[in-house]
A and B are shown apart, each in its own frame.
Chain A
Amino acid sequence: MKVLLSWVREFVDIDEPAEAIGRKLSLRGLPLEALEPMSDDALMDFEVTANRPDCMSVAGIAREIAVVYGLPFRAPHSAWPEAGASPSPAAAPPIRISIEAPDLCARYVGAVADVTIGPSPAWMADRLNACGVRPISNVVDITNYVLLELGQPMHAFDHARLAGPAIVVRRARAGETLRTLDGKPRALAADMLVIADAERASAIGGVMGGAESEVSASTRRIVFESAWFKPQSVRATSRALGLRTEASMRFERGADLTAPAVAMARACELLSQLGAGTAGPLLDVYPARHQPAVLFLAQPRVEGLLGMHVPDAEIVRILEALGFGVEPVPGGWSVVAPGWRVDMHRDVDLIEEIGRHHGFEHLPATFPGVQQAPAPSDPRIARDARARRVALAAGFSEAISFAFIEARHAEPFQGGEAPVALANPLSEKFAVMRPSLVPGLVGAVSHNRRHGRRDVQLFEIGTRFSARGETRAIGLAWTGLATPDHWSGGRRDVDFFDMKGVVEQLASLFDVEISARAPAEGSVAEAVLVPGRAAVLVSGDRSIGWLGQLQAAIGDAHDLPANDVVYVAECDLDALSAAVAPARMTTPLPRFPAAVRDIAMLVDESLSAATVRGTIRSKAPSTLVGVTEFDRYQGKGIPDGKVSLALRLTFQSLERTLTDSEVEAATTAVVDLLTSELGAVRR
């Protein structure tokens, strides 16, 4: 709210410079946003919170200044008439005013005036200009001047353009249209309030007037409007039409039901003061009179809520200075809110007034007492922290990306499902909620690659969205070298098993056993990963995630440099933590030594390690406690289509030391098993 210091001074004798006033009011709930010094004046722009429509006026700001500085607040002119009184002899015939929608318009004050249209005097035009309002003509300027000064929106109709002549406050009719003052045709909906003449709509109540009845240079007689419209209705209409005006902003926050007559009197006074015309009697249609809010303020409640002591006299001073009626009653006060304080509903509203004007700087710093042991925190926090540690230790840096991504980036990761799309996204770039963390990570890898980074390892822990709801996952992306460059050599690019190792570590962190399979047709892994370098991860029949080499087309879509090989993985942390087995008891350490035997078997190269392992496990001697693949060789001496698989077998008994012949027999049993079941040949 922009106010001129000189204008404020018409309501309160304040000698302080504008800067000092601004500093002080900023600590009392009216932050000064901007200050524009002018020659012997200053334009102060205060930020007014949504609950204080009364401060969207010069008078409202002046009242706050008066309270802060302990100065009297006064009405601007002694000639300000009492509400309802006639400001001047009747010069114009009355107009018929009827309210057909009293639920949306609780009061309508009108006055007919004969006018001579011309420019406003310089002082008025200057003030309007300073406050960002363009002067138009004396009559229109008066409505704007009163709006700024008292916060009550007003309107002026050209009397000659009103059929009847009548003012009918009613809901719009089906199919009704109106061209508003800005020249735009508006289609009106049935729940919108209009100010109509005997035939058609002339204005949208509380939002904007109509072009047809606009005051023009040829206007000779006007009807001033000063009314009260229901906040919710004005807000809904303003939003539906995409039309926010100075009037609608005030009405939707709540106008003062006692103000329309006061504002009308002020407008009519200005009319005569400017020599712009003479007004007839005030026509006040006010079906149900305002019932001021009467609140009980219990004395102990003030300190009970604020935690600071405010003397009783100070409580009364603050409230009375703000315009409240304060009556002592047993145990506290009975407080009557003035009409402009539409934000007063409960005792806490009064306590806020007391607190802020006494000064929050007087608050002591105390601590809330603890009445019981704290409840446990969300277990996901500790879980995610553990997963984060694994990823960091594996060399991945932590990324945080926007949860909304481009639809085309999300599509391959949706597994054929519909995306969770936004109705009003900021742009195409933020159109749908991510079904996976990987698109965001690939975007981040691409960003780093394009900024000269060769090796990029990133992870993100965050929410994934689908029509079935939200799941928490960890996503990983890795491109470049497997390990940092080192003088000792060993330089090698990241491969499938580097990424798989990280995922296995993650699973082992949760003590969950996972196995990898080729992705099924139609799965996300199949859609985004290179065939043959793609795997889905399962624990039992629970799907845990997937990993593999990213398809070039997906990288292209994120502007990743061509030929970049990126490995990606995603694990569902919710699924992973759900797969955690109950805590195990420890087992005693073995008392007898283990025996280790290595065997090398020639098998079909298409045979998976999982099959070999599964076959051994299915029929192995009970003393076999471990199987490790320690070499896999193809090349010289190995027939085409075959692979030499070296396995390390560990045998152990809990009861005794195994004899050589027992170990030999067990090893032979394993070899025989592989030979008979898988056609393997021992080398």
Chain B
Amino acid sequence: MTTIDPSIGTDRARAIFDEELAGVASAAALQELRNRWMARSGSWVAAFMDLIARATPDQKKALGRGANELKKHVEVALADREAALSATRRPAGAVDVTLPGRAPRLGCRHPLSLVREEVGAIFSRLGYQVLEGPEIEDDYHNFEALNMPAEHPARDMQDTLYLANPLTPASYAPPTRGLAPRAPQPLTLLRTHTSAMQIRQMERHDPPVRLVAIGPVYRRDNLDLTHTPMFHQVEGLVVGRGITLADLKGTLTSMAAALFGPATRGDESARSGQAPLVRFRPSFFPYTEPSAEVDIRCIRCGGEGCPMCKRTGWLEILGSGMVHPAVFEYVGYDPDEVTGFAFGMGIERVALLKWGVEDIRLFYENDLRFLEQFGR
């Protein structure tokens, strides 16, 4: 520490002060520094005052100005440092606020459950009732009433899993209308589609109908990248006077936009706002006529063509059509009075596309490293 010697001049003294201040790290050291420079006696400032007192009148003015500037500088610098020090001072009982909090563990949602809920919410908003139904079905509701009588070749489209021993329904309320057998039917199979719920609902309720049925379905498909023997479907059905295929297109357009968000809408300016979001390709299902496979504009490239859409600009998403008049006859609706549309979409398919999952089997492994990617 430099000996107090005002003869070195205020400029030099000021440099010494700055050096000493830089070495101060605690409130105590700061107080010591303050005393050494500002105390009424024995400090640097006091020494300069003595020097001024003893100076000649013409020296006094210059010395006085220099000493005042030094004093002011020291005061300001000390105050600044004090403020800075007090800002980092920990009060009694202080905690390290940067340590992690004691957070209760939160579980993660399953992606299929997220899509299921989202689809349900979209259609609830559109005024649909959301239904679930039995997973073990009778042949009548899964096939026959959907215009697939025994030996219908379309039954080959869905390889069915059968029960070793048919079950008898626990409770049975015969349908009030339609061609359904009035006696309980043996439950012989795992439903191959949620379409069975269409029949169950229609044979008990008058039109109009506006429903989605969601849940697991089963087919005898071997496990691979794109197939699992159990998967989830959402089935939509709207029946009433004057329902058209164009209504189906509008409904599915709205669903696609809600489900896939801005990605599906793509770059509006680039596509001049006119390009459709969904595309219908004629197809065949025994329970709809006309029938259509529905594609959505590729959610990755917006239709330009990319590996995800195999350079077609379109992604296949669901099967649909106008309810076959024969189905209406099975459930006791008059096909001359009402028309309707129906669609069936794979929940896994939506999830695969939405999150770019490449192996459908991941949905059934329940690996936390996978599930944790879908948020909480």
Contacts and interface: CB of A to CB of B under 8 A. Distances in A.
Interface of A: 26-29, 31, 49-52, 231-232, 235-236, 252-253, 304-308, 346, 348-349, 351-352, 355-356, 360-361, 363-378, 380-381, 385, 388, 391-404, 418, 420-426, 430, 433, 444, 447-448, 451, 453, 456-459, 462-463, 465, 467-470, 483-484, 486-488
A252 B154 CA distance: 10
Contact of A378 (B130, B222, B250, B280): B130
Contact of A52 (B99, B104, B247, B284): B284
B102 A486 contact: yes
Contacts of B169: 469
Nearest to A482: B105
Nearest to B113: A398
Interface of B: 99-100, 102-110, 112-113, 117, 120, 124, 127-132, 134-136, 150-151, 153-154, 156-157, 161-165, 167, 169-170, 190, 205, 208, 210-211, 216, 218, 220-223, 228-230, 238, 240-247, 249-251, 253-254, 276, 278-284, 286, 289-292, 322, 324-326, 339, 341, 363-369, 371-372, 376
B322 A49 contact: no
Given A374-B129, A469-B167, A360 B364 contact: no
Interface-central residue, B151, B218, B341, by most chain A CB under 10 Å:
B151
Contacts of A380: 132
B117 A385 contact: yes
B244 A346 contact: no
Nearest to B340: A368
A398 B169 CA distance: 30
Contacts, number: 266
Contacts of B131: 377-378
A470 to B, nearest CB: 6
B104 A27 contact: no
A363 B99 contact: no
A421 B163 contact: yes
A307 B246 contact: yes
A397 B370 CA distance: 11
B200 to A, nearest CB: 12
Contacts of B128: 374
Given A252-B153, A378-B131, A366 B161 contact: no
A402 B230 contact: yes
A361 B153 CA distance: 29
A674 B166 CA distance: 56
B135 A367 contact: no
Contacts of B130: 377-378, 381
A465 B131 CA distance: 19
A39 to B, nearest CB: 25
A498 to B, nearest CB: 11
A365 B253 contact: yes
Given A49-B284, A421-B165, 5 more contacts: A28-B282, A29-B281, A374-B129, A393-B106, A426-B229
Contact of B100 (A361, A365, A487): A487
A239 to B, nearest CB: 8
A307 B229 contact: no
Contacts of A52: 284
Contacts of A26: 281
Contacts of B241: 371
Contacts of A385: 117
A372 B240 CA distance: 11
A412 B220 CA distance: 26
A194 to B, nearest CB: 19
Given A346-B325, A377-B131, A398-B109, A444 B244 contact: no
B153 A253 contact: yes
A423 B162 contact: yes
Prevailing SS type, chain B contact patch: mixed
B105 A484 contact: yes
Nearest to B211: A375
Nearest to B278: A365
Nearest to B160: A424
B208 A371 contact: yes
Given A305-B244, A306-B244, A374 B156 contact: no
Given A236-B151, A381-B130, A487-B99, A306 B246 contact: yes
B97 to A, nearest CB: 13
A418 B166 CA distance: 12
A308 B292 CA distance: 15
B107 A392 contact: yes
A356 B132 CA distance: 33
B135 A402 contact: no
Contacts of A355: 245, 282, 290
B280 A363 contact: yes
B207 to A, nearest CB: 9
Contacts of A422: 161-164, 190
6 contacts: A304-B242, A305-B290, A346-B325, A374-B210, A398-B108, A424-B220
Nearest to A351: B290
A456 B292 CA distance: 44
Contacts of A418: 165
Contacts of B253: 365
Contacts of B113: 388, 398, 400
Contacts of A462: 216
B220 A306 contact: no
B283 A49 contact: yes
B260 to A, nearest CB: 16
A418 B167 CA distance: 12
Contacts of B364: 400-402
Given A365-B246, A403-B135, A451 B167 contact: no
A50 B247 contact: no
A425 B280 contact: no
